[in-house]
Chains A and B, each alone.
Chain A
């Protein structure tokens, strides 16, 4: 079976004042159906650029990105929007909810533009809200709810269109440790229910929930850690050790 996501030698070059800078320098990897992959790396290593390019928010200078066999690096603007809406889900550090919409409306927004029948929209929202325990706050506004609830709302919105792949960008960055653990368990649970997730994080604890961690540095993949059958705690330790090694490299 083809991999869900195949990244093939992508390159992203920024040119400022005649000076070229490679934010991504020939990154290649694949993610299979049902994986939970973490992307780690120090600030400025190219994590965000990679996520933006994969998320079709930015376009690579060179290289191909195949999602389920479709090359999204070559899609036109309008087709990209549709692709993003129908096949990708996003969770951001700062939630990115719209203040003027209620929780329910925030969740259903991506469906509204696809002309989904109202009853189906309603039942999907209800089901997701139930699953993530936010049924009670469906009619409240984002400024009335907690950070953890906001992030769960964002997760529901990411899942509403049954995406093939979920991108999470530092999803725990703005949460306290309790809410962060809840969210990570939620994501891990989702993954067990066959949702493919790619998460960018700088936090070893968050990364330890993943099945596999890719380490990126100076625009290149430098390491790959696989959790395999080890426990989450053991994997956390492995990641920490790697980070220490990386940190001492940095110090040189």
Chain B
């Protein structure tokens, strides 16, 4: 029998194990190829000229994906090899030379690589075209494109994965040379000592995480810490979070499990004893993986949550900057559309001294303000009395902004009757800061008045052509243009974000799945003992469910907590309320993650019973 026949037989016999590994690599290739296609796509880069940031966003994301995919494949390859060390040992024992075994594994891995690459790129072609359509949809673009094959993406993907496969093959080759025969046989048998947690380390873990959270929740504007540490602050927060998570799994979890086990009233009931012992027994080997998973989950949930929130509020953002569909300086024009409101606004510009220096205000009179407020469906503002004004400041932020209570106009002091944080007129045309004065005060102002037009049109998102034809006007602002720009950027962001989020999710799920299934193989004998001493299938299934639940839930809940803190910090920074979109995103994420849990429990149970 030649070595080649041996390799063939091998693959045929261990098909399910191979299927898992090949599945992982194919998945990685599909993801990478799809992403590379989008990056190289002419349509996207064409759009990138208008929306600016998409191209660099794509490049950065591809790089993250590259690192990630390489790690992921290396990880699953290591698992794959670990499970086969005994087989390799057997060859060695039968007198096959290390060199031959190495060649066998190398050859095998290259065949797997070649097959995965072919299948992955084939499926990736279909996937990338489908996703391209989806992306264009999300970006609210009416471009339509046919089936495309991106040669540059093809080359890039092939190069990247050939490099990865060469690396993992080399890795396998090294395993054969580095280990002694006896170790090869015991590779998956090495029992880990039952760990003991020091209360000090557990406390330290809680303290470090607490510190990281406290830092993260410091206000960027007012906290002196940000002043001292500036750019080092995010790094410090991330570093502390990682260290804290590591300690949490290494010590706090062990501490809690140890306590639970010591409580006989609880642990001597059903298989609780076994559940905690099994978890304790394995936790040290798992601590790194669990930390990794909690960090990946936190990243995915935070990024996804933030991006989804921004997308969710994009429209609101547009209408808050441009309440009227169009506004420009000059005379009224005929609008070829379903016009809802059309107003002519006279604005004067004044400069007023304040605590933080001179500020420039646009001034409109009270009647105009009432008219636009009615157009926008606002509550009618109460009438101003003598020496009173309204202040409109859409950028007001109590942390940075001066709280103006009175302004001096033509030597007369006017009290600010109330402040509006929302502007009724397009910021890009009228400026953000506005004063509303009684009509007679406005007329009396010596500054020259400028005439503006503000128009609201039905279906403002669809008025691209109209917007373009009006864009020649001076000081033109358009909600239509603003919206399509926002959609292009946010849509691309959302796409990239959810894409990466999904990849991370699949990766975390798969890592736990691999890990658990490897353990299942080692644990089979243990569960057989349980069955022999008369413990029912029901009880065994129960302890399996519980054990796997802890392994799934612990890093995930920590990830959720990390992400929540990060998102609270972000939402404060941006002054937006993220609650609804973030909850939706988290629910979606958890649902897919839960599917992984169910799948793992099923496979595990099948494996050992």
The verdict on A110 contacting B529 (CB below 8 Å), with A100-B194, A101-B273 known, is no
Assess the A113–B278 pair: CB atoms within 8 A: no
Give the residues in chain B near A122, CB-CB below 8 Å.
Answer: 264
Complex Cα–Cα for A84 and B268 (A):
20
Pair count A-B, CB < 8 A: 85
Instruction: Mark B528-540 against chain A: 1 for CB-CB distance below 8 A, else 0.
Output: 0111111111110
**Nearest chain-B residue to A121 (Cβ)?**
B268
Q: When the two chains form their complex, are residues A112 and B268 in contact, meaning their CB atoms are under 8 A apart?
A: yes
- A113 and B271 within 8 A (CB): yes
CB A153 to nearest CB in B, in angstroms, measures 12
Chain B, range 149-195, C-beta contacts under 8 Å to A: 191, 194
Instruction: Let me know if A85 and B265 touch, CB within 8 A.
Output: no
In this complex, what residue of B is CB-closest to A82?
Answer: B536
The reply to whether B281 and A99 form a contact with Cβ atoms under 8 Å apart is: yes
Is the pair A105, B534 in contact by a Cβ cutoff of 8 Å? no
In the bound complex, CA of A141 to CA of B536 (Å):
24
* Shortest Cβ distance from residue B385 to the other chain A in the assembled complex, whole angstroms: 80
Interface residues in A87-139 by Cβ distance below 8 A to B read 88, 90, 92, 96-101, 105, 108-113, 115, 118, 121-122
User: Which chain B residues in 263-290 approach chain A with CB under 8 Å?
Assistant: 264-265, 268-274, 277-278, 280-281
Q: Are B269 and A88 in contact (CB under 8 A)?
A: no
How near does chain A come to B537, taking the closest CB pair, in angstroms? 7
A100-B137 Cα distance, complex, nearest whole Å = 55
Residues of A with C-beta under 8 A to B524: none
Which residues of chain B are within 8 angstroms of A212 by Cβ–Cβ distance? none
Residue contact B270 to A113, C-beta cutoff 8 Å = yes
- Does B17 touch A at the CB level, under 8 Å? no
Q: Which residues on the A side are within 8 Å of B536 (C-beta)?
A: 77-78, 81-82, 85, 113
Contact A100 B281 (CB under 8 A): yes
Which of A82, A99, A118 is B534 in contact with, Cβ under 8 Å?
Answer: A82
Chain B proximity of A91: nearest CB distance (Å): 11
B547 → chain A closest CB, angstroms: 11
Are A112's CB and B271's CB within 8 A? yes
A211 at the interface (CB under 8 A from B): no
Interface contact A108-B531, CB-CB below 8 Å: no
- Docked Cα-Cα span, A105 to B278, in Å, equals 13
Q: Is B97 positioned at the interface, with any CB of A under 8 Å from its CB?
A: no
Nearest B residue to A143 via CB reads B191
- Cβ-neighbour of B273 out of A99, A109, A115, A143 (below 8 A): A109
- Interchain nearest-CB distance for A89 vs B (Å): 8
Complex Cα spacing A110 to B532, Å: 10
B603, CB-defined interface residue at 8 Å: no
For chain B, residues 524 to 563, give those with C-beta under 8 angstroms from any C-beta of chain A. 526, 529-539
**Most chain A beta-carbon contacts within 10 A, residue among B191, B271, B533, B536:** B533
- A113-B529 contact, Cβ under 8 Å, with A99-B191, A100-B281: no
The answer to whether A85 touches B535 (Cβ under 8 A) is yes
Q: Are A112 and B273 in contact (CB under 8 A)?
A: yes
Asked if A98 contacts B526 (CB within 8 A), the reply is yes
A57 lies within 8 A of chain B by Cβ = yes
Is the Cβ of B533 less than 8 Å from the Cβ of A110? yes
Q: Do A86 and B534 form a contact, CB below 8 Å, given A112-B270, A112-B271, A118-B264?
A: yes
Contact B537 A78 (CB under 8 A): yes
* B532 partner, pick from A82, A96, A105, A112, beta carbons under 8 A: A96
Asked whether A105 and B277 contact (CB < 8 A) given A57-B532, A78-B537, the answer is yes
Cα A100 to Cα B106 with chains together (Å)? 37
- The answer on a CB contact under 8 Å between B268 and A110 is no
Q: With A100-B278, A100-B281, A109-B274 known to touch, is A118 a contact of B265 (CB < 8 Å)?
A: yes
A100 to B257, CA, bound (A): 13
Q: Is the CB of B535 within 8 A of A110?
A: yes
Do A81 and B194 form a contact, CB below 8 Å, given A92-B532, A98-B526, A101-B277?
A: no
Interface size range on B against A:
20 to 34
Within 8 A of A (CB), among B306-325: none
Interface residues on A, range: 20 to 34
Q: Which residue of B lies closest to A77 (CB)?
A: B537
Q: List the B residue with the shortest CB-CB distance to A88.
A: B534
CB contacts (< 8 Å) of B532 on chain A: these are 55, 57, 84, 90, 92, 96
Instruction: Answer whether residue A47 sits at the interface, using C-beta atoms and an 8 A cutoff.
Output: no
Task: Given A84-B534, A105-B273, decide whether A98 and B280 contact each other with a Cβ distance below 8 A.
Answer: no
* Contact of A96 with B529 at beta-carbon distance under 8 Å, contacts A82-B536, A112-B268 already known: yes
Q: Are A118 and B268 in contact (CB under 8 A)?
A: yes
Q: B109-147, CB under 8 A of A: which get 1 and which 0?
A: 000000000000000000000000000000000000000
What are the residues of chain B within 8 A of A111 when measuring CB–CB? 268
Counting CB contacts under 8 A, is A157 at the interface?
yes
Q: Residues of B contacting A100 with CB < 8 Å?
A: 194, 274, 277-278, 280-281, 526
Q: How far is the CB of B49 from chain A (nearest CB, A)?
A: 62
A108 to B274, CA, bound (A): 11
Q: Which of A82, A96, A101 contacts B274 (CB 8 A)?
A: A101
A157 CA to B531 CA, complexed, in Å = 14
Please name all residues of chain B whose beta carbon is closer than 8 Å to the beta carbon of A99 when the two chains form the complex.
191, 281
Question: Chain A contacts of B530 at CB under 8 A?
Answer: 98, 109
**Distance, CA A202 to CA B277, complexed state (A):** 36
- Is there contact, CB below 8 Å, between A81 and B537? yes
Name the residue of chain B whose CB is nearest to the CB of A112: B268
* Complex CA distance for A90 and B538, rounded to whole angstroms: 20
Query: Which residues of chain B are within 8 angstroms of A82 by Cβ–Cβ distance?
Result: 534, 536
Cα separation A32 to B191 with both chains bound (whole Å): 43
| Contact pick for B531, options A57, A98, A112, A141, CB 8 Å | A57
Q: How far is the CA of A88 from the CA of B480 in the complex (A)?
A: 80
- Roughly how many angstroms separate A167 CA and B177 CA in the complex, as a whole number? 46
In the bound complex, what is the Cα–Cα distance between A85 and B271 (angstroms)?
14
Closest to A108 in B: B268
CA A97 to CA B525, docked complex, whole Å:
10
Q: How far is the CA of A100 from the CA of B274 in the complex (A)?
A: 8
Chain A 18-58 interface residues, beta-carbon cutoff 8 Å to B? 55, 57
**In the complex, chain B residues whose CB is within 8 Å of the CB of A108:** 268, 273
Q: Which among A57, A101, A110, A122 has the highest number of chain B CB atoms within 10 Å?
A: A101
Contact A109 B537 (CB under 8 A): no
A82-B539 Cα distance, complex, nearest whole Å: 11
Distance between Cα atoms of A118 and B265 in the complex (Å): 7
Q: A85 — nearest CB in chain B belongs to which residue? A: B534
The answer for the CA separation of A78 and B540 in the assembled complex, in Å, is 12
Q: What is the minimal beta-carbon distance from B462 to any residue of chain A, in angstroms?
A: 65
> A83 vs B531: C-alpha distance in the bound complex, in angstroms?
12
Nearest A residue (CB) for B272: A112
A-B pairs with beta carbons under 8 Å apart, 29 shown: A78-B538, A81-B536, A82-B536, A84-B532, A84-B534, A85-B535, A90-B532, A96-B532, A98-B274, A98-B277, A98-B526, A99-B281, A100-B280, A101-B277, A105-B273, A109-B273, A109-B274, A110-B533, A110-B535, A113-B270, A113-B271, A113-B539, A115-B270, A118-B264, A118-B265, A118-B268, A121-B268, A122-B264, A141-B194
Listed in ascending order, the chain B residues whose CB lies under 8 Å from chain A are 191, 194, 264-265, 268-274, 277-278, 280-281, 526, 529-539
Known: A78-B538, A82-B534, A84-B534. 4 other contacts (CB 8 A): A57-B531, A57-B532, A77-B537, A90-B532
Query: Interface on A for B, CB 8 Å cutoff?
Result: 55, 57, 77-78, 81-86, 88, 90, 92, 96-101, 105, 108-113, 115, 118, 121-122, 141, 143, 157, 161
List the 10 closest pairs (A to B, CB-CB), nearest first.
A85-B534, A84-B534, A81-B536, A100-B281, A100-B277, A96-B529, A112-B268, A110-B533, A101-B277, A118-B264
